Amino acid sequence: MLGDTYLTVHRWFKGFNPWKSPIKSTMVWVQLPELPIEFFHPMAVKRIVGFIGKYVRTDRETTEGARKKYARARVEVDLTKTLLSQYTLEEEKYKITYEGLQNVCFDCGCYG
Protein backbone atom coordinates (compact mmCIF):
# COMPACT_ATOMS: atom_id res chain seq x y z
CA MET A 1 0.00 0.00 0.00
CA LEU A 2 1.34 3.43 -0.93
CA GLY A 3 -0.47 6.06 1.10
CA ASP A 4 -4.13 5.11 0.80
CA THR A 5 -3.71 3.37 -2.56
CA TYR A 6 -2.96 -0.26 -3.28
CA LEU A 7 -0.09 -0.99 -5.64
CA THR A 8 -0.86 -3.92 -7.92
CA VAL A 9 2.00 -5.75 -9.62
CA HIS A 10 1.45 -7.99 -12.64
CA ARG A 11 3.83 -10.20 -14.55
CA TRP A 12 4.83 -8.58 -17.83
CA PHE A 13 3.96 -10.31 -21.08
CA LYS A 14 4.22 -9.36 -24.74
CA GLY A 15 1.48 -6.86 -25.57
CA PHE A 16 0.82 -6.02 -21.91
CA ASN A 17 -0.98 -2.68 -21.56
CA PRO A 18 -1.38 -1.54 -17.93
CA TRP A 19 -4.16 0.89 -18.93
CA LYS A 20 -6.30 -1.85 -20.47
CA SER A 21 -5.49 -4.87 -18.29
CA PRO A 22 -8.28 -5.45 -15.78
CA ILE A 23 -7.40 -5.83 -12.11
CA LYS A 24 -8.90 -9.16 -11.09
CA SER A 25 -7.44 -9.57 -7.61
CA THR A 26 -5.59 -7.62 -4.96
CA MET A 27 -4.13 -8.11 -1.50
CA VAL A 28 -5.91 -6.24 1.26
CA TRP A 29 -5.83 -6.02 5.01
CA VAL A 30 -9.15 -7.22 6.37
CA GLN A 31 -10.38 -6.21 9.81
CA LEU A 32 -12.75 -8.39 11.81
CA PRO A 33 -14.23 -5.93 14.33
CA GLU A 34 -15.65 -7.27 17.59
CA LEU A 35 -14.31 -10.78 16.96
CA PRO A 36 -14.23 -12.58 20.32
CA ILE A 37 -10.64 -12.73 21.62
CA GLU A 38 -10.66 -16.55 21.71
CA PHE A 39 -10.72 -16.50 17.88
CA PHE A 40 -7.60 -14.31 17.50
CA HIS A 41 -5.39 -17.40 16.97
CA PRO A 42 -3.95 -17.39 13.41
CA MET A 43 -5.62 -20.71 12.52
CA ALA A 44 -9.05 -19.41 13.60
CA VAL A 45 -8.54 -16.16 11.69
CA LYS A 46 -7.40 -18.18 8.65
CA ARG A 47 -10.63 -20.21 8.70
CA ILE A 48 -12.79 -17.09 9.00
CA VAL A 49 -11.10 -15.11 6.23
CA GLY A 50 -11.04 -18.20 4.01
CA PHE A 51 -14.61 -17.25 3.07
CA ILE A 52 -13.37 -13.81 1.98
CA GLY A 53 -10.37 -14.86 -0.10
CA LYS A 54 -6.97 -16.51 0.07
CA TYR A 55 -5.40 -16.12 3.52
CA VAL A 56 -1.86 -14.73 3.48
CA ARG A 57 -1.07 -13.96 7.13
CA THR A 58 -2.34 -12.58 10.42
CA ASP A 59 -0.74 -9.38 11.70
CA ARG A 60 1.49 -9.43 14.78
CA GLU A 61 -0.84 -7.37 16.98
CA THR A 62 -3.64 -9.89 16.41
CA THR A 63 -1.39 -12.90 17.01
CA GLU A 64 0.02 -11.41 20.22
CA GLY A 65 -3.39 -10.16 21.41
CA ALA A 66 -2.03 -6.61 21.61
CA ARG A 67 -5.12 -5.11 19.93
CA LYS A 68 -8.49 -6.13 21.34
CA LYS A 69 -10.87 -4.16 19.08
CA TYR A 70 -10.42 -6.26 15.94
CA ALA A 71 -8.43 -9.07 14.37
CA ARG A 72 -6.53 -8.21 11.20
CA ALA A 73 -5.38 -10.45 8.35
CA ARG A 74 -3.84 -10.05 4.92
CA VAL A 75 -6.06 -11.63 2.27
CA GLU A 76 -5.92 -11.90 -1.52
CA VAL A 77 -9.43 -11.07 -2.73
CA ASP A 78 -10.90 -11.85 -6.13
CA LEU A 79 -12.37 -8.55 -7.36
CA THR A 80 -14.45 -10.37 -9.98
CA LYS A 81 -16.47 -12.04 -7.20
CA THR A 82 -18.87 -10.61 -4.65
CA LEU A 83 -17.11 -9.18 -1.58
CA LEU A 84 -18.70 -10.09 1.73
CA SER A 85 -19.79 -7.36 4.14
CA GLN A 86 -20.30 -9.73 7.08
CA TYR A 87 -19.88 -13.31 8.25
CA THR A 88 -21.61 -15.53 10.81
CA LEU A 89 -19.76 -17.15 13.69
CA GLU A 90 -21.58 -19.21 16.30
CA GLU A 91 -24.94 -17.79 15.12
CA GLU A 92 -23.76 -14.17 15.52
CA LYS A 93 -23.20 -11.82 12.58
CA TYR A 94 -19.97 -9.81 12.44
CA LYS A 95 -18.93 -6.99 10.12
CA ILE A 96 -15.94 -7.15 7.74
CA THR A 97 -13.84 -4.05 7.00
CA TYR A 98 -11.58 -3.90 3.94
CA GLU A 99 -8.72 -1.44 4.49
CA GLY A 100 -8.11 0.78 1.47
CA LEU A 101 -11.02 -0.49 -0.65
CA GLN A 102 -13.24 2.58 -0.52
CA ASN A 103 -15.21 1.72 -3.66
CA VAL A 104 -16.94 -1.43 -2.40
CA CYS A 105 -20.70 -1.56 -2.94
CA PHE A 106 -22.19 -3.85 -0.34
CA ASP A 107 -25.59 -3.79 -2.04
CA CYS A 108 -24.15 -5.80 -4.94
CA GLY A 109 -20.80 -6.80 -3.36
CA CYS A 110 -18.76 -5.37 -6.23
CA TYR A 111 -15.65 -3.21 -6.25
CA GLY A 112 -15.22 -0.23 -8.55
Count of the separate structural domains present in the chain: 1
- Does 71 reside within a domain? yes
Torsion angle, alpha carbons of 79, 88, 51, 76, to 10 = 50
What whole-number distance in Å separates Cα of residue 54 and Cα of residue 97? 16
In a domain, 72, yes or no: yes
Residue 62 domain-assigned (yes or no)? yes
Give pLDDT tens digits for 32-52: 999 999 999 999 999 999 999
Full pLDDT tens readout for the chain, 112 residues? 455 555 666 677 888 787 777 778 888 999 999 999 999 999 999 999 999 999 999 999 998 888 889 999 999 998 888 888 999 999 999 999 998 876 666 565 555 5
The CA distance from 74 to 27, in Å, is 7
pTM: 0.77
19 within some domain? no
Q: What is the CATH number of the domain that holds 58?
A: 3.30.70
Residue ranges making up the domain that contains 75:
25-111
Report the pLDDT value the prediction gives residue 11, as an integer from 0 to 100. Answer: 73
